[in-house]
Structure 1
Amino acid sequence: MNSHLEKVWRAIRPERLRKTFLELLDIYSPSGKEEDIQLYLEEYLSRAGFAVERLAVEEDRYNLRATMGKAEPQLYLVGHVDTVPAWDLEALGPQEENGVIRGLGSADMKGGCAAMVEAWLALSEALNQSELPPVGLLLVVGEEEDGDGSAAFLESCRPPWVVIGEPTGLAACFAHYGYLEAGFVTRGHRIHSSLPELGHNAVESMLRVLLHLGNDSLFNRETSEIVYSIREMSSSRAGFVVPDRCEAWIDLHLPPNKDPADLQEAIRRIVAGADRFIPGLDLQVTFDFASSGYNLETDNRLNQILREIYPQMGLELRLDAFRSHSDGNLFFAAGAKPLILGPGSLETAHTPNEQVILDELSAAARIYAALCLGTRGGG
């Protein structure tokens, strides 16, 4: 093992990491309300001796950045501090049992943030100033909404590599799915609900549109590569009447080699013929957000490092494509190379059972430290 890496790994303190993780989980930080957690992280890193820079996103919202080494950072550890809204504010705090910690944002992605901070501390404690690698730590806001934190950072800085700690179960994702958000609105004719035959029910129209779309082979879950999920559906609420408007949103994740524009056209083509089966259909389709996937392949320095260190840690290196949307899409579009790798799994993210295994958290810190050291050319 490289002597520098050995020193840094010895400096990683699992109990300190656990404490940091629990404190992050104790701070409620849904998208748009991240200031409390950023204040905590800013004080924590400043107290440890780091110069922490605030990067404004909008009023009262900012990213945090720290750097080390003498040269411009060749790699940034990137974590988002925001979460989806809480399921139950009364049961918000973390719960620990048998080496597993549960809590809102534990996997997505306060576990990754805590492991990155611990790797950062270990690097600074174990190495002399001249030995520090040229790397950055970036803690961003807004990932769960529109990625405005990362977008603001990319306006002035585009590093060669970033490592984003989204939950992958420590699989290395050099490839990333694309994402498309599709909106559907059906309109009908409002009438008293005791006389539905005199109106036109927008909800019934929407249900038939969604069934028509889902019956197409493009969305066959057994054979298609497209990941298709109806995220929400709502109708006009006006008392005891036939609804005259219904809105639905669909999340679509597509493999790295698929163009979201082609999928848009396919959806438009499918629903264009729906009026043959749905009398009186009044349908509007919009695509408010689209992001292409990517595939970096694996012939690169970061994958070489992972192939060397995983056996040393007693882990099997798994390569995968990240199936969800993340800030990785933004970084790639801006010219950076994003590796998605972090503790926890997508299976529990955004659910009441969200969790991270503590041993996986410590392993993530060691992996992040090794990747940072790799920017020194293996020294």
Structure 2
Amino acid sequence: MKAERAKEILVELLKIPSPSGQEDRLALHIMEFLHRLDYDVHIESDGKVIDLVVNPEAELFFEVHMDTIDVRAEPFVRGNIVYGTGASDVKGGLASVLLMLESLKKDKQDLNVGVVFVSDEEKEGMGSALFMERYKPKMAIVIEPTDLEVHIAHAGNIEAYFEVDGKEAHGACPESGINAIDQAYKMIEELKALEPFKQKGKYFDAYIGLQELICENPYYLIPALCKGRFEARLLPNQEVEDVLDLMEPILDEYTLRYEYTEIWDGYELDESEEIVQLAKKAMEEVDLEDFGGMRSWTDAINFMYNGTKTIVFGPGNLDISHTKGERIDVRDVVKASEFLRKVNEIYGRS
């Protein structure tokens, strides 16, 4: 029964496209859902993004984003599996929050935590930044696809766009030119050989690699210019500035120019932190076991930078998020809802 209700809620969410910057229709749907349950909804906006806040005075918040990437796959259902862009990242998690709020009203239970639905997570994180400007909760759970693991650690990150130059020559005369694509690969290999990217971690390993490479070459030439983007994933204990000091001599050697688009330090919470202890008690009561670490940027970074102790949790699988095969098992949506409800209950008793 709960799985069917979770499926209904999720499919309705997926029917409303909400790429970053186009969250208004989904925000209205969520507001109407919450008003039917008699929750007060506070709207926060700076003219660019919109956030919906429930129980704004709370010191513990559940946070979930409303936006997705651009739609790559339309929703459809096969048994307990719901497919479509956003199913895993993060409308499955959004459905788990709404299911929790609905179940609390049905059972006449209090909402002891705050809930915020934010915009723009997939692009610039402006929604969570706006929320943190106006609210300063003590603790938070950011909803993201974690396979129902409670992530108490978070990767750091360096992302940059670059241009690498070479020297044109006829395509049959590689000895006379300098191949910009070859240079880009040499650069990445030298970066990969740096000590920070050889390190293994408790939850994931450090990594650097190309995510985009563009080279237009319509004239059968040795290419003289290519552009690209690389991303580096850092361990929670690695300092971004230390890694940049090692990377930049290589970038200076190979590139015409480069520009960092994302830089942040990761973190790992001690298991003695209150939010971790709350989560641990809830995990025991709903039969969840594993702590883990988040590999991707999430709004948790904005929360932690502003002093809010934050864990990441949710249904769905990060590996298949953003892909054309994105999907989620609604039974995991129900399980996530039960976990969040249990955190709400335990926190209310504390």
Same fold (TM over 0.5): yes
1:168 aligns with 2:146: yes
Aligned AA for 2:45?
A: A
Q: Structure 2 CA distance, aligned partners of 1:225 and 1:366? A: 31
- Is the 8 Å Cα contact of residues 57 and 63 (structure 1) preserved in structure 2? no
Q: Structure 1 CA distance, aligned partners of 2:322 and 2:174? A: 38
**Alignment equivalent of 1:105, drawn from 86, 99, 102:** 86
**Alignment equivalent of 2:116, drawn from 138, 155, 160:** 138
Q: Structure 1 CA distance, aligned partners of 2:22 and 2:313? A: 25
Aligned AA for 2:263?
A: A
**Alignment equivalent of 2:296, drawn from 317, 324, 328:** 324
Q: Structure 1 CA distance, aligned partners of 2:154 and 2:62? A: 17
Name the residue aligned to 2:59.
74
Deviation per CA, 1:94-143: give whole Å up to 9, x if none: 3323x222221111111111101111222233236xx542x221111111
CA distance 1:259–1:222, change in 2 (3 Å): closer
CA distance 1:301–1:25, change in 2 (3 Å): same
CA distance 1:195–1:127, change in 2 (3 Å): same
Name the residue aligned to 2:243.
263
1:289 aligns with 2:262: yes
Give the Å deviation of 1:220: 4.2
CA distance 1:282–1:228, change in 2 (3 Å): closer
- Is the 8 Å Cα contact of residues 180 and 260 (structure 1) preserved in structure 2? yes
Q: Structure 2 CA distance, aligned partners of 1:348 and 1:85? A: 15
**Alignment equivalent of 2:14, drawn from 25, 32, 48:** 25
Name the residue aligned to 2:27.
38
Question: When the two structures are aligned, how many residues end up with a matched partner?
Answer: 348
Q: Structure 1 CA distance, aligned partners of 2:272 and 2:343? A: 15
CA distance 1:58–1:197, change in 2 (3 Å): farther
- Is the 8 Å Cα contact of residues 92 and 315 (structure 2) preserved in structure 1? yes
Name the residue aligned to 1:16.
5
- Is the 8 Å Cα contact of residues 111 and 344 (structure 2) preserved in structure 1? no
Q: Which sections of structure 1, spanning at least 5 residues, go unmatched? A: 1-11, 276-280
Q: How does 1:202-213 map to 2 (within 5 A)?
A: 202-213=180-191
1:92 aligns with 2:74: yes
- Larger gyration radius, structure 1 or structure 2: 1
Q: Structure 1 CA distance, aligned partners of 2:200 and 2:138? A: 38
Name the residue aligned to 1:8.
none
Deviation per CA, 1:204-260: give whole Å up to 9, x if none: 322332233334454348799412231111135665555443112111111111111
Give the Å deviation of 1:340: 0.4
**Alignment equivalent of 1:341, drawn from 313, 329, 346:** 313
Q: Structure 1 CA distance, aligned partners of 2:301 and 2:238? A: 14
1:156 aligns with 2:134: yes
- 1:347 aligns to what SS in structure 2? helix
Name the residue aligned to 1:126.
107
CA distance 1:271–1:167, change in 2 (3 Å): same
Aligned AA for 2:244?
A: Q
Aligned AA for 1:109?
A: V
Q: Percent identity?
A: 26
Aligned AA for 1:20?
A: I
- Is the 8 Å Cα contact of residues 302 and 374 (structure 1) preserved in structure 2? no
> Which moved further from structure 2: 188-197 or 344-353?
188-197
Q: Structure 1 CA distance, aligned partners of 2:277 and 2:172? A: 68
1:300 aligns with 2:273: yes
Name the residue aligned to 1:83.
68
TM-score (norm 1): 0.83
Aligned AA for 1:263?
A: V
Aligned AA for 2:19?
A: P
Q: Structure 1 CA distance, aligned partners of 2:88 and 2:25? A: 19
TM-score (norm 2): 0.89
Aligned AA for 1:103?
A: G
1:65 aligns with 2:47: no
Q: Which sections of structure 2, spanning at least 5 residues, go unmatched? A: none
Give the Å deviation of 1:192: 6.4
- Is the 8 Å Cα contact of residues 57 and 148 (structure 1) preserved in structure 2? no
- 1:58 aligns to what SS in structure 2? coil
Q: Structure 2 CA distance, aligned partners of 1:288 and 1:310? A: 36
CA distance 1:198–1:117, change in 2 (3 Å): same
Q: Structure 1 CA distance, aligned partners of 2:321 and 2:240? A: 24
